[in-house]
Amino acid sequence: MKTVEEKNRAELQILEEKEPVAFDTREYPVEVLIDKYQSEEFVIPKYQRSFVWEEDKEKMSKFIESIILDLPIPYLFFADDKETGKLEIVDGSQRIRTVNSFKNNEFELEGLEKLDLLNGFKFSDLPESRQRRFLRKTLRSIELTEKASSDVRRDLFERINTRPYDLLPMELRKGLYDGEFYNFIEECSNNELFVHLCPISEKRKNRGEAQELVLRYFAYADNYQNFVHSVEDFMDDYMKDKHEKGFDRQNMKKQFTDMLNFANLYFPYGFRKSENSNSIARTRFEAISIGVTLALRESNKLITNNISEWLGSEEFKEQTTSGSANNRTKVLGRIKFVKNKLLGLR
């Protein structure tokens, strides 16, 4: 049983942490949502994902089916931009983009079970009466007013998007720590040499894989000795620290560029496993990129004549492909393996 004093302290904490949130609730007809989206009155902020539903037509189709059948649809969340008066889409961009895409006849319905006779239909294939009814359907929304602070908006975004299988860690960090450091990470991920040495599929690019790799590079290169067990927590802490305390853009950019130039000169396939590989294993990228950086910090005369030999060794394969790839021993092991090989150490 909790004491009266404990209960009082808990209640006081609730009152202290409970920041007033000014919001309105509205219902928008689908047609209005589309019009406001197309006129850019509804703004998709940088931290939102790319249109990832576009790669899952069945998911898009079932959302359209839900609207037609008047099934419950989760609230859309908007935030009033203080400067422009436009509405920032905090949560719901995938749904808004889906109805817009359907209205524009950009995909056919598929995978429907309840309305299976609509499979293969585009919007224009529906009877005109059904088109009108669809466009009149309303979706509910909650709008944070201009009085809501940026902290409230970030907190809302985090709480909405921590459901299983929704946002990936890097997508969530984009929403929580959007700013100068995230912009720097994105800039590095678009570096032409990085893109060349580290090919990533469009699907993974759209989910922030390039930014994830760049963040891992800087976090481990700066602080790998303090990594314990959770990669996600380690990256979150590093991102938050740089976001709040600032970073040395010039030196970090030079370090990243020097590493890429070295990898381009001496590693036959960049960060790929072979000439025909079209994807990159995170463990391999970490081992090479961070190992190179640590070695360059100690010497500019590295041993490069036997790189292909140890890259193809069973020992390197063990360091980068075996189980528990993200425990402390494995992370430190693969980084030090590359570093030591380049420095000529055992």
**Could you report how far apart the first and last alpha carbons of the chain are, in Å?**
59
Q: Give the Cα separation of 32 and 89 in Å (integer).
A: 15
pLDDT in tens, 250-281: 999 999 999 999 999 998 888 888 888 878 88
Helix, strand or coil, per DSSP, at residue 127: coil
Tell me: do 146 and 173 sit in the same domain.
Answer: no
**Which of 10-19, 33-42, 202-211 ranks highest by mean pLDDT?**
33-42
Tell me: do 138 and 190 sit in the same domain.
Answer: no
Q: Give the Cα separation of 144 and 156 in Å (integer).
A: 10
- 158 vs 306: which has the higher pLDDT: 306
Torsion of CA 63, 66, 72, 78, to 10 degrees: 30
Q: Does residue 10 lie within any of the structural domains?
A: no
Q: What is the CA radius of gyration of the chain?
A: 25
Tell me: do 117 and 219 sit in the same domain.
Answer: no
Contacts of residue 287, Cβ cutoff 8 Å, sequence gap at least 6: 316, 319, 320, 334, 335, 337, 338
Tell me: do 129 and 236 sit in the same domain.
Answer: no
Tell me: do 252 and 270 sit in the same domain.
Answer: yes
In this structure, how many other beta carbons lie within 10 angstroms of the beta carbon of residue 187? Answer: 13
> Percent of the chain at pLDDT above 70?
88
Q: Does residue 3 lie within any of the structural domains?
A: no
Tell me: do 208 and 150 sit in the same domain.
Answer: no
Tell me: do 336 and 272 sit in the same domain.
Answer: yes
**How many domains in the chain?**
2
Mean pLDDT of 33-41: 93
Q: Does residue 329 lie within any of the structural domains?
A: yes
At which of 101, 130, 160 does a domain end?
160
Q: Does residue 12 lie within any of the structural domains?
A: no
Q: Does residue 2 lie within any of the structural domains?
A: no
Tell me: do 117 and 178 sit in the same domain.
Answer: no
Tell me: do 150 and 173 sit in the same domain.
Answer: no
Under the banding of pLDDT at 50, 70 and 90, the label for residue 165 is very low
Tell me: do 113 and 180 sit in the same domain.
Answer: no
Q: Which domain holds residue 61?
A: 19-160
pLDDT at 154 over 70: no
Structure tokens at 158: 């985090």
Q: Which helix (H) or strand (E) element contains residue 42? A: strand 42-43
Residue type, 294: L
pLDDT in tens, 52-69: 777 789 989 999 999 998
Q: Is the dihedral of CA 233, 170, 176, 249 positive or negative?
A: positive
Mean pLDDT of 295-304: 87
At which of 160, 185, 201 does a domain end?
160
- 319 vs 42: which has the higher pLDDT: 42
Tell me: do 296 and 330 sit in the same domain.
Answer: yes
Is the CB of residue 144 less than 8 Å from the CB of residue 155?
Answer: no
Tell me: do 78 and 220 sit in the same domain.
Answer: no
Give the model's pLDDT for residue 150.
Answer: 66
Q: Which helix (H) or strand (E) element contains residue 301? A: none
Q: How far is CA 52 from CA 48, 58, 89, 168, in A?
A: 10, 12, 16, 12
Q: What is the DSSP letter of 41?
A: S
Q: Does residue 257 lie within any of the structural domains?
A: yes
